[in-house]
A = this chain, B = another copy of it.
Amino acid sequence: MLKKERQTYILHQVNVHNRVLSADLSQQIKVSEDTIRRDLAELADQGKLIKVHGGALSQGYHLSVHAQEVYALDEKRSIAQKAAKLIQDGMFVLTTGGTTIIELAKALPPDLKATFFTVSLTAAIEYMQHPNIEIILIGDKLSKNAQITVGGEAQAKIKQIKPDLCFLGTNAIDITHGLTENDWEVMQIKKAMVTTAQKVVALTIAEKVNTAQRIQVCDVHRIHTLITELPPDNPLFTAYKDAGLEVI
């Protein structure tokens, strides 16, 4: 087999499988690993793949360049747009924290007059930018992990409110396990919110749909509306629609 032939084969393999091992290629093509290594080095020089210890990865694999910024920002903006439409003047809105909720805060129309209740510092700061929104911060112990207030006082306060809408930044949702979290205190707060709200709206990127964490917040039936960045007719949601959820 010619060198050029071999290299196009390797490139093909990389593009199809996203990754190759030097040892595998060596066996497949029946040349020494040294030769494979030299080929990979050459192709890497030409920028056609990325050489790593033990093999190579396809170019497109390295997509997490801007890890500094919010993950899946575009998706979250799109979710925020849909969610913002649900809020009407005069409403009482209860929200958790999280980056999706922050995007919602940014997406609120500037003339909206409403009252927002929140346990999240970051969300509160974002709401403060809006001239016509009244903010009630729910106080209690501050969780350093979640950056929201947690604890019995906060739960009690939440239950005193009867909000029209409750937006949950969602960590994981699954038809059998329902809405799940990875932090006990956060779960308690969200549970209190779900209990007291007239209408519960879960916001999540599609990637988190059908994933589960360790601690259950509530059953899927307690959620009225599910918002993701995908169009609502996506087959991913049929099970949720069957369970009676509105998908936007």
The answer to whether A29 has its CB under 8 Å from any CB of chain B is: no
Chain-B contact segment, one of A7-15, A32-40, A84-92, A193-201: A7-15
B67 touching A4 by the CB < 8 A rule? no
Segment 180-233 of A: residues with Cβ below 8 Å from B: 182-183, 205, 207-208, 211, 213
A63 touching B142 by the CB < 8 A rule? no
A-B contact pairs, 18 of them (CB 8 A): A2-B21, A3-B54, A16-B211, A17-B172, A18-B171, A19-B182, A47-B67, A47-B68, A60-B69, A60-B99, A63-B147, A121-B125, A121-B137, A128-B144, A136-B141, A138-B139, A139-B139, A139-B140
Could you say which interface size class chain A belongs to? 35 or more
Bound: A47/B17 CA distance, A: 29
* CB-contact partner of A57 in B2, B19, B21, B138, under 8 A: B2
- Beyond A17-B208, A60-B68, 7 extra complex contacts between A and B, CB < 8 Å: A2-B54, A16-B71, A18-B98, A60-B70, A136-B140, A136-B142, A137-B140
Residues of A within 8 A of B (CB): 2-5, 8, 11-12, 15-19, 21, 47-50, 52-55, 57-64, 67-72, 98-99, 121-122, 124-125, 127-128, 134-142, 144-145, 147, 149, 154, 157, 171-172, 182-183, 205, 207-208, 211, 213
Report B-chain residues with C-beta under 8 Å of the C-beta of A211: 16-17
A142 touching B147 by the CB < 8 A rule? no
Report B-chain residues with C-beta under 8 Å of the C-beta of A11: 64, 67
* CB-contact partner of A71 in B47, B58, B121, under 8 A: B58
- Copies of this chain, how many? 2
Report B-chain residues with C-beta under 8 Å of the C-beta of A136: 139-142
A17 touching B182 by the CB < 8 A rule? yes
Bound: A182/B58 CA distance, A: 14
A61 touching B182 by the CB < 8 A rule? no
A142 touching B124 by the CB < 8 A rule? yes
A67 touching B54 by the CB < 8 A rule? no
B17 touching A122 by the CB < 8 A rule? no
How near does chain B come to A178, taking the closest CB pair, in angstroms?
16
Report B-chain residues with C-beta under 8 Å of the C-beta of A16: 71, 205, 207-208, 211
